[in-house]
Amino acid sequence: MRWKKELVKEWTTRAGLAARVYRITDHRGPKRYWRSWYTGYVRVPREHDLFEVGYIEALLSLRAGEGGQRDLSWSGRFTDDNGWWFGFDTATYEEDPGLDHVVGECEALAEDLARLA
């Protein structure tokens, strides 16, 4: 197995949107080179203006709507859920920001997305 994806937290944000945080672990190479990082996701309902919109277009909408500087890197469906999710990861961060930071980013993203509904 090269990658391990573990659901760490699933909740309803203050904005009323579903959110998830996963911890991804890269098992390639010798164990001393293994690394892990968090990914965060927020779900929009079918009636949302950004439902089935790609993450690049969503970023443009968020910025035009005076949303924060979001670092989206994915949009799509999970196999266990029919909703439309927007996500980001922390793999490129120099230091692991920690679970609390990723949860906070999900909350902020959910607030921005809710404003565009």
Q: What domain count does the chain have?
A: 1
Q: What is the mean pLDDT of each run of 10 residues along the chain (117 residues)?
A: 88 98 85 82 95 92 66 90 91 87 95 89
pLDDT, position 113: 93
102 φ, ψ (degrees, to nearest 5): -65, -40
Q: Range of 92's domain? A: 3-115
pLDDT, position 111: 94
pLDDT, position 92: 82
State the Cα–Cα distance between residues 38 and 40, nearest whole angstrom.
7
Give the 3-state secondary structure of residue 50. coil
pLDDT, position 34: 72
CB-CB contact of 68 with 42 (8 Å): no
Question: How many residues would you count in the chain?
Answer: 117
Cα radius of gyration rounded to whole Å, the chain: 15
pLDDT, position 29: 74
